[in-house]
Structure 1
């Protein structure tokens, strides 16, 4: 099991242009991570996606730093101006990028939903997109998955329904233990439900405030049910990280895991604490 870090965890540094995506590979290695999860392709030098992916691959190889997952957005309901065939083709092109990077697994989104359309109504369309993509990815030796992400398709029961409906051996789930809180679901119950279906996992923590309290202000966002969340250093928030890891291990999960930090703290010192705490939890 490799402990990786998502490039999203350095988002503050990327936004402030204190580091670029290419430099994150050596930074993650210096910090002691076993691998890196690359989120989108973010050229800092004006390169196109293909050329920048080749640069990233060369740096991964130079540093002998494994890419544990490639992650990018997708929406099979509204993406590509609502043209499902076009969105499927666009996602397939991202699979080609993953292949250039040497990634053996990919997480793409399913959908953020459409007002007035129920999950049950949307499910056949989402399934068509996911199935077409995973069949294509399988020819390149790349496993695909969706994550409990984006409110509309975030509940564990909905993610399980989608997994079962796609019903393909190359398709699995990225289980993010923190994201269930975005739809006010207990991470312990949700991870316990989905752990047997996991192909990859995110370790994430959140500070939680009840929606019945006053708005805590900057840094917090609202859950679907009106509670407040703010990204936290792993072990500092309210997500039962160690218990969720136990559920994954009990279900036989032996894949890689990635820290996805989205707190307000400075990225580097925060991630050092995240890594130290996670290593301690895994030893327990």
Structure 2
């Protein structure tokens, strides 16, 4: 397995104006990270920055572990769903330009008046459309376990199996499973054959009102990897046994200062991988 980092790990630093895409790549190079996950959220001027990113990654002999967008297919209005389909297709185009071979995608968010069955049907229908484009461009769409339509491992599995394309696989987010009442290691075991990307994240149980609210009003907050409740080592063992050789892309969501917490998380994963 390879060491990666998602730029989402330093989102607070970006929002404060202390770091941008170029500085993030420099920081990851300094910490001997093999691959980076970039998100469309962080572009200030995509047309100007994208060629610079391609050049810098080549200079540092790094890889783009994944490119990520935040689509939402749970749209009652058909025209709005069509816009989301076009958004994903643009994400596929950008992934090609940036040298990624996979695109992280979402299913969609709950909406008032929309039943689970309705939302799921739109998600599956939309994915059947966009995977065709992914197949043409040689890009794997990797669906993250996120939200209530695809938060549980079985939900992700169902969507992948109903779309039935080798170009739709899973992004495994090790922390998010807690928010839907699943033990991460059990969820990984359930979905291991479809994993094509990993968000390596650690969460710990929190007090009411602090962090992310999960099912049954249980709260979790992010932390330095190895210091929370996720069985990180066990998950690596399951993935290894399943033959996964891709990236463990750290997604640090612990408290500020984020860069400090991220670097400690990088050191933890290096030791876990025997680096």
Q: For this structure pair, what is the TM-score category when the shorter chain's length is used for normalisation?
A: over 0.9
State the secondary structure of the residue aligned to 1:10: helix
2:16 corresponds in structure 1 to 16
Q: 2-side partners of 1:34 and 1:176: how far apart?
A: 19
* 1:260 aligned to which of 223, 248, 251: 251
Question: Alpha-carbon deviation of 1:173?
Answer: 0.5
Residues 80, 87 of structure 1: 8 Å contact kept? no
In the superposition, relative to structure 1, how do residues 123 and 79 fare at CA in structure 2: closer, same or farther (>3 Å)? closer
| Post-superposition CA distance 1:56-113 (Å, at most 9, x none) | 2222222222101001100112398862222211210111111111111111111012
1:279 corresponds in structure 2 to 270
Task: State the number of aligned residues.
Answer: 275
In the superposition, relative to structure 1, how do residues 79 and 98 fare at CA in structure 2: closer, same or farther (>3 Å)? farther
User: Mapping of 1:127-276 within 5 angstroms?
Assistant: 127-209=124-206, 215=208, 219-276=210-267
* 1:92 aligned to which of 81, 89, 93: 89
Q: 1-side partners of 2:116 and 2:239: how far apart?
A: 27
Residues 119, 149 of structure 2: 8 Å contact kept? no
Question: Alpha-carbon deviation of 1:135?
Answer: 1.4
Residues 112, 153 of structure 1: 8 Å contact kept? no
State the Cα RMSD in Å: 2.0
* 1:75 aligned to which of 72, 91, 97: 72
| Post-superposition CA distance 1:237-282 (Å, at most 9, x none) | 1111111111111112111220000111312221222122122223
Question: Alpha-carbon deviation of 1:169?
Answer: 1.2
In the superposition, relative to structure 1, how do residues 79 and 38 fare at CA in structure 2: closer, same or farther (>3 Å)? farther
Q: 1-side partners of 2:169 and 2:29: how far apart?
A: 28
State the secondary structure of the residue aligned to 2:197: strand
State the secondary structure of the residue aligned to 1:135: helix
Question: Alpha-carbon deviation of 1:51?
Answer: 3.3
Q: 2-side partners of 1:237 and 1:151: how far apart?
A: 23
Q: 1-side partners of 2:228 and 2:212: how far apart?
A: 15
TM-score by length of 1: 0.90
User: Mapping of 1:45-56 within 5 angstroms?
Assistant: 47=45, 49-56=46-53
| Post-superposition CA distance 1:116-168 (Å, at most 9, x none) | 43333322211121122121022111111110012332011111111111110
Q: 2-side partners of 1:19 and 1:236: how far apart?
A: 26
Residues 80, 86 of structure 1: 8 Å contact kept? no
What runs of 5+ residues in structure 2 fail to find an aligned partner? none
